[in-house]
């Protein structure tokens, strides 16, 4: 049975240099209100598909935390049930941590965002404000604007003339966009972190051009009174880029300067046999490249996002992170930043894609879901039932994604809180579960069957299959309302009221992170790099 520990004990563990994972059992939106700096979200609603990926080694030291509601004890019991042998619970949760005089943080991906602020201070990364950039555009300045976010975010809102080049691709692909040393390079994101890290990647790699970050990104652009564009898809050419050899030399120099190690797959196999070491194997290429063929056992983690949101993939402090790509550029740049973010051994595989590969998207290990037998229904069959009023859909997508597109009439829910929908599920209609991951749909179907008397089925392929079959989607920015989005920490531009105020507060929060981190004292950025 998991043991209770006090805040002072956990503070000591954070500082003792041993491997440690701090998992927060709350939903992401709840987590974002107040949490420990190195805590990683592992919400109860996703524990079966998230815990095993976060904890590759079951005997690693784990501490479960929450907001004092008791969720941590439930997560701890689950972890012990899947074989974890060193599990503790922070007594009193985050409120007790704060009461003990330690710093609690709001927001998500806090270590990475704080690191971005540290990078700007440490490297003196230059920036331009939106008015300066607009004046440069109007004057016809020789420049390129590169948006360092994933394409999905770029489509939602972008700076005029910008081209999508996610942060992990910048050094690798800059030769496609800049042929002259006189060309100014402007890097932007939605706020600050990826703008800073993207610009500093190019500068630290030795690109000779003037490189600047757009101060406060698309949020700053809109706050300055300029309009963002929507729906654009311009991005880098999907081919081996011009200047790839020079990019490798730059990236290799950067990685070695910051203590990245290198290994062959044969040496990696020997590493995996070492006892007492947690190892994550992450492929930092574009997800489409990963899907076309990747090292067996690796997980897709695009380099720019891995540095921007490390806690999506890595939970164990002091672990070994093994990076894989094709040419070595993206893995080396990512590795150099991870080393400076600190606390991990970082290894780049020099032949990670040699030998046998597998295709397709990464699938989480989830034996609990495999044990559930639930009938499937095809999109066309579901459409017919809905037309007859004989079915109702429960959608487990993220609230932010449900708002953007869902099957008309469907109900949104969080898997572990489906009992809240019981009064809205009529007993005489079939219930059909839709989810981005089939494992989640299976688990929810079993839970719903205990709540409603009607038959429960799952939609084969989820909402993506429904859309691909040509059936319509409904969108409603207020469904669910902001206050009910417990599963997702709403960004300022996701909100329905007070957007400008939320943008200003968010940007101030990011800027102040470097001071809060100094108070906390547990993020010695740069110490390992």
- Identify the CA nearest to 234 among candidates 343, 322, 161: 161
> What global pTM score does this model have?
0.96
Question: In this predicted model, what pLDDT tens digit does every residue of 229-264 receive, in sequence order?
Answer: 999 999 999 999 999 999 999 999 999 999 999 999
Question: In this predicted model, what pLDDT tens digit does every residue of 54-81 receive, in sequence order?
Answer: 999 999 999 999 999 999 999 999 999 9
- 3-state SS of 91-144? CCHHHHHHHCCCCCECCCCHHHHHHHHHHHHHHCCCEECHHHHHHHHHCCCCEE
Taking the C-alpha atoms of residue 81 and residue 2, their distance in angstroms, rounded to an integer, is 11
- Cα angle value 7/485/512 (rounded, 5°): 50
Residue 151: enclosing H or E segment and its boundaries? Answer: helix 151-156
CATH 3.40.250.10: which residues of the chain?
A: 3-108, 114-234, 250-354, 371-484
CB 199 within 8 A of CB 212: yes
Q: How far is CA 168 from CA 35, 172, 198, 259, 347, in A?
A: 28, 8, 8, 19, 17
CB 383 within 8 A of CB 408: no
Average pLDDT of 85-113?
A: 98
Beta bridge pairs of residue 377: 459
User: Which of 3.40.605.10, 3.40.50.920, 3.40.250.10, 3.90.10.10 would CATH assign to domain 250-354?
Assistant: 3.40.250.10
Question: In this predicted model, what pLDDT tens digit does every residue of 361-394 receive, in sequence order?
Answer: 998 999 999 999 999 999 999 999 999 999 999 9
Taking the C-alpha atoms of residue 215 and residue 200, their distance in angstroms, rounded to an integer, is 13
> What DSSP state is assigned to residue 408?
T
CB atoms within 10 A of CB 327: 17
Residue 114 pLDDT? 97
Please list, in sequence order, all residues whose beta carbon lies within 8 angstroms of the beta carbon of residue 309, skipping any fewer than 6 positions away. Answer: 108, 109, 112
Q: How far is CA 193 from CA 117, 118, 321, 378, 479, in A?
A: 7, 10, 22, 42, 29
Q: What is the mean pLDDT of the chain?
A: 96
> What DSSP state is assigned to residue 235?
B
- Cα angle value 503/67/101 (rounded, 5°): 85
Residue 528 pLDDT? 66
Please list, in sequence order, all residues whose beta carbon lies within 8 angstroms of the beta carbon of residue 262, skipping any fewer than 6 positions away. Answer: 347, 348, 349, 350
Q: Which of residues 27 and 428 earns the better pLDDT score?
A: 27
Q: How far is CA 371 from CA 51, 77, 415, in A?
A: 18, 20, 17
Q: Which of residues 519 and 528 earns the better pLDDT score?
A: 519
Residue 524 pLDDT? 86
Indicate whether 167 pLDDT > 80. yes
Residue identified by tokens 């309009």 is: 227
Taking the C-alpha atoms of residue 48 and residue 33, their distance in angstroms, rounded to an integer, is 24
Residue 371 pLDDT? 94
Backbone angles phi, psi at 277, to 5 degrees: -130, 130
Indicate whether 529 pLDDT > 70. no
Q: How far is CA 144 from CA 209, 328, 346, in A?
A: 11, 25, 32
Taking the C-alpha atoms of residue 79 and residue 2, their distance in angstroms, rounded to an integer, is 9
> What DSSP state is assigned to residue 35?
B
**What is the percent of the chain with per-residue pLDDT over 70, rounded to a whole number?**
100
Read off the pLDDT band of 146 (50, 70, 90). Answer: very high
Q: Quick check: helix, strand or coil at residue 38?
A: coil
Read off the pLDDT band of 179 (50, 70, 90). Answer: very high
Q: Quick check: helix, strand or coil at residue 69?
A: coil
Residue 342 pLDDT? 86
Taking the C-alpha atoms of residue 65 and residue 459, their distance in angstroms, rounded to an integer, is 34
State the CATH architecture for 3-108: 3-Layer(aba) Sandwich (3.40)
- Please give the CATH superfamily to which domain 371-484 belongs: Rhodanese-like domain (3.40.250.10)
Question: In this predicted model, what pLDDT tens digit does every residue of 450-508 receive, in sequence order?
Answer: 999 889 999 999 999 999 999 999 999 999 999 999 999 999 999 999 999 999 999 99
Q: Quick check: helix, strand or coil at residue 298?
A: coil
CATH 1.20.1300.10 for domain 114-234, yes or no, is: no
Largest Cα span, the chain: 70
Angle between the N-to-C axes of helices 47-54 and 71-81, in degrees from 0 to 180, rounded to the nearest 10: 70
Please list, in sequence order, all residues whose beta carbon lies within 8 angstroms of the beta carbon of residue 333, skipping any fewer than 6 positions away. Answer: 168, 171, 172, 201, 205, 251, 254, 255, 303
């Amino acid at each position: 049975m998991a043991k209770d520990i006090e805040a002072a004990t956990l503070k000591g563990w954070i500082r003792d240099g041993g491997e440690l994972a701090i998992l927060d059992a709350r939903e992401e939106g709840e987590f974002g209100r107040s949490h420990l700096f190195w805590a990683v979200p592992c919400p109860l609603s996703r524990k079966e598909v998230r815990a095993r990926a976060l904890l590759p080694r079951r005997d690693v030291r784990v501490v479960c935390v929450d907001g004092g509601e008791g969720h941590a004890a439930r997560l701890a019991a689950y972890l012990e049930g899947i074989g974890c042998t060193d599990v503790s619970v922070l007594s009193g949760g985050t409120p007790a941590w704060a009461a003990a005089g330690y710093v609690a943080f709001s927001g998500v991906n806090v270590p990475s965002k704080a690191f971005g602020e540290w990078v700007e201070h440490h490297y003196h990364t230059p920036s331009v404000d939106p008015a300066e950039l607009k004046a440069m555009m109007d004057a016809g300045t020789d420049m390129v604007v590169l948006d360092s976010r994933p394409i999905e975010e770029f489509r939602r809102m972008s700076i005029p003339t910008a081209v999508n080049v996610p942060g992990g691709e910048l050094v690798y692909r800059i030769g496609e966009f800049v042929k002259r040393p006189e060309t100014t390079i402007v890097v932007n994101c939605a706020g600050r972190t990826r703008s800073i890290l993207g610009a500093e990647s190019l500068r630290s790699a030795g690109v000779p051009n003037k490189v600047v970050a757009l101060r406060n990104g698309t949020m700053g652009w809109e706050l300055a009174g300029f309009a963002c564009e929507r729906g654009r898809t311009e991005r880098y050419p999907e081919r081996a880029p011009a200047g790839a050899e020079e990019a490798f030399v730059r990236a290799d120099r950067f990685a070695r300067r910051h203590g990245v190690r290198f290994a062959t797959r044969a040496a990696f196999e020997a590493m995996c046999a070492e006892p007492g070491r947690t190892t994550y194997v992450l492929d930092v290429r574009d997800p489409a490249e990963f899907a076309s063929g990747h090292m067996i056992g690796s997980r897709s983690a695009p380099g720019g996002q891995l540095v921007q949101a490390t806690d999506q993939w890595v939970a164990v402090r002091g672990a070994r992170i093994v990076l894989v790509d094709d040419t070595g550029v993206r893995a080396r740049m990512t590795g150099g930043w991870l080393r400076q973010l600190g606390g991990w051994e970082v290894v780049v595989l020099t032949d990670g894609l040699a030998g046998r590969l597998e295709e397709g998207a990464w699938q989480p290990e989830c034996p609990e879901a495999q044990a559930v037998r639930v009938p499937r229904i095809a999109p066309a069959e579901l459409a017919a039932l809905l037309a007859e009023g004989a079915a109702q859909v429960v959608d487990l997508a993220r609230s932010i994604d449900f708002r953007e597109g869902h099957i008309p009439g469907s109900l949104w829910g969080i898997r572990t809180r489906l009992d809240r929908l019981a009064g809205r599920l009529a007993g005489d209609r079939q219930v059909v579960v839709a989810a981005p991951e089939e494992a989640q749909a299976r688990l929810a179907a079993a839970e719903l069957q205990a709540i409603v008397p009607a038959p429960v089925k799952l939609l084969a392929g989820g909402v993506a299959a429904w859309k691909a079959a040509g059936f319509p989607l409904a969108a409603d920015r207020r469904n669910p309302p902001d206050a009910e989005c417990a599963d997702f920490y709403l960004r300022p531009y996701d909100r329905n009221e007070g957007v400008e105020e939320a943008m200003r507060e968010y940007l101030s929060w990011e800027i102040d992170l470097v001071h809060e981190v100094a108070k906390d004292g547990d993020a010695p950025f740069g110490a390992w790099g």
